[in-house]
Each structure stands twice: as structure tokens, then as C-alpha cells.
Amino acid sequence: MAVDELRIKNKQKRQKLFAELKDQHNKERHSMRRTRAKEERENPELKEKRLAENVPDTIDNLRVYDETMGQEVEGEMDDFMKFFNGTEPPKILLTTNVNAKKKAYEFANILIEVFPNVTFVKRKFGYKLKEISEFCNNRNYTDIVIINEDKKKVTGLTFIHLPEGPTFYFKISSFVEVEKIVGHGRPTSHIPELILNNFNTRLGKTVGKLFQSIFPKNPDFEGRQVITLHNQRDYIFFRRHRYVFRNEEKVGLQELGPQFTMKLKRLQRGIKEETEWEHKPSMDKEKKKFNL
């Protein structure tokens, strides 16, 4: 009931009455919830039934039908096949765009801690991407990661899988430094475990495979470090945690940082050759259509 519906001409009285009604309504709701919680504690099946019946409509579960979801991937996993068949660990070259500023190097320092077996090389003038990829191929690098900085802000990350591509370009946003995360821990050099969430479509699986190929397949479980790449509505959230088993049932999490969000903008065949998929601004018009 709204305030206007009370039809009392005195505003103060009307407001007072409405506050009382609202308070009463809240109390009823709280007591209903208390009794329901008590009943559900005694009989957990009731809770399961309630949760199964009352599924709220979200943009995620109203997503537009995508035929590529749930289908088996045809053949071997295309261009990443070589890495998966081999036993060699990934070897990453990290660099920036030409004439990068301080922010790019700061971000590079963070990524050096995140990616295993990574070498940072300062980008010099006069070397084209083709030459860089040739140097890397000769030195058995498996990936090149390029930090894109524009107007003193880190705007993107380019991943080039070697020797024959593909190339991914992600937009970077919502970057939170480690120091700004309250109660953050200090990471160790252990190889982290990897959690990939919600990479369901054919394109999503290719993106997921990129991240799988960057981190070695044999994590150091004693380090208890986890990197999570959670995809929600085509935004990929990067988080890093350390877990601890408090007892047999409870697990504690400590965030190690940093936090940032990636959005796939372009996927190209080879080293920046023909486009396989590209984000268009018109795609954002359709709120319930997701590509990953």
C-alpha cells in the first residue's frame, strides 16, 4: 500500500499511519521467515522444494537459445591441439605496446606474478609483431601476451598462441590493485589451480581452452592457490584466492588479488589474420544474447 492510498488529508498522520502499517508488515514477514526457517531446519526437503519451485527470472537464465551450447566439440581442440598433446609446460613472453607508460609496466609486474614461466621483455621500437613471433617461435615460447595501454590506462590484453595462432584481444576494465583489497594475502610462487566457470558456447570453449593452455596442467596443491575465471554475461572476472580447510566442513578463502574484468573483443585466426569472431556495438543491444 502506498502513502497516497490511505486517504487521510493530514500528511503527518498519514505518514505515521503508513509507518505503522509498514512496520507491522515487516514484522509479519520476519516472523513468517523465522517460522519457515525453523520448519525447514527440521525438514530440509521443504527448503529444497521451495527453492526448486521459486526460481527467479534473471537475465542469465532468460538467455537467448544458442545451438552451440551443450554440443560436443568436433575434432581435437583446433589450434591448441599441439600444446595438449605435448608434455612441455607453457612458456610465455610478456610485453607491452610500443611507447608504453608507467601503468603498463605496473600491470606487467602483476601479471608476472600471475602467469607461470613468464619472461617480460620491454617493447622496443623497430620490431614488428611478425619478427617478435618469429623470435619467440625460435625460442620455444608457447604464447605472447601484450599489454595494451592507452592514455596512461591499461585498456586491453592480446594473447597470441604460438606458433600458428589464434589471437585473442580482450578489453580490460575494473582493475583493482592488490593493496586496495582488504585483508589480502601474499601470493607464493606455487602453480595455481584453475577454475573456469560458464564457458559454455563453442566460442566460450575456445576462450576457456586459451586459459587452460596458459597455466600448466600440474598445479601445486600444497600452495592452495586458485585462479578463477568466471564468465557472466560475456564478462570474464579474474580473481585469485588462497583457500584453507578450517575443519572437515568449512573452507576459508583469502583473496590474493588483483581483480580485473576482461571482455572478449576479437578472435582472429593465425597471428592477427582473418577474423573468427568480433564484438560489434550492435551486439550489446540484445541484452539476453551472450556469446561465451
Partner 1 sequence: MRVLLASDDSGSLKEIIFNRGTNTSIKTALQPFHIDIHLNQGLSNRIDKIYHVSDSLLLLARHSGSLELVSSKRVSKDVDETNEPKYDVTEFELQDLISGLFDQSVLDTLSSKSKKKSKIEDQFVELYLIKKSAKNPIFLAATKSGNVTIIEVDLHSTKISKIASHKIKAPVEFVTLYDLDKSDKFVMAYGGEENLVRLIELSSDFKEISDIWAAKNVPFDNIGLRVPAWDVALRFLESEKNGVYNFITITKYAQLRKYSTNAEDCRPVKSITLLPKGEQLNSCKIIGDTSPLGNFQSSNFDELEFLAADSRKDVYQFNGKGRLLRKIAKGDITGFASCIAVTDKYLLQGGLDRYVRIFDLADYKLLAKIFTGGKVSDIILLEDNDLELPLTEKQLKMKKKKEAKRSIVEADEDAENEDLWNKLESKKRKVSKNDI
**Euclidean distance between CA atoms 107 and 252, whole angstroms:** 28
CB of 116 to partner 1, least distance (A): 26
**Phi, then psi, of 180 in degrees rounded to 5:** -85, -5
Among 71, 109, 140, 174, binds partner 1 (CB under 8 A): 71
**Euclidean distance between CA atoms 244 and 222, whole angstroms:** 11
CB of 213 to partner 1, least distance (A): 15
Smaller CB separation from partner 1, 67 or 222: 67
Q: Note whether 261 and 226 are within 8 A (CB).
A: no
237 binding partner 1? (CB under 8 A) = no
| Residue 88 DSSP class | P
Smaller CB separation from partner 1, 230 or 289: 289
277 binding partner 1? (CB under 8 A) = yes
Whether the ω angle into residue 89 lies within 30 degrees of 0, i.e. cis, is no
Give the binding-site size for partner 1 (rule: CB under 8 A): 31
Binding mask of the shown chain, residues 240 to 269, with x at each position contacting partner 1 by CB under 8 A: -----------------------------x
60 binding partner 1? (CB under 8 A) = no
286 binding partner 1? (CB under 8 A) = no
Of 153-182, binders to partner 1 (CB under 8 A) are: 163-165
- Cα angle 268, 272, 274; round to 5: 55
**Coil/strand/helix, residue 113:** helix
204 binding partner 1? (CB under 8 A) = no
Q: Which residue has the cell 582472429?
A: 268
Amino acid letter, residue 163: P
Let me know if 256 is exposed, middle or buried by CB neighbors in 10 A (0-12, 13-18, 19+): buried
Of 99-138, binders to partner 1 (CB under 8 A) are: 129-130, 133
Stretch of 6-14, 76-84, 224-232, 252-260 lying at the interface with partner 1 (CB under 8 A) = 76-84
**Euclidean distance between CA atoms 236 and 239, whole angstroms:** 10
CB of 290 to partner 1, least distance (A): 13
Count of CB atoms within 10 A of residue 226's CB? 17
Interface with partner 1 by CB under 8 A: which residues?
Answer: 65-68, 71, 73-76, 78-79, 81, 129-130, 133, 163-165, 202, 269-278, 280, 282
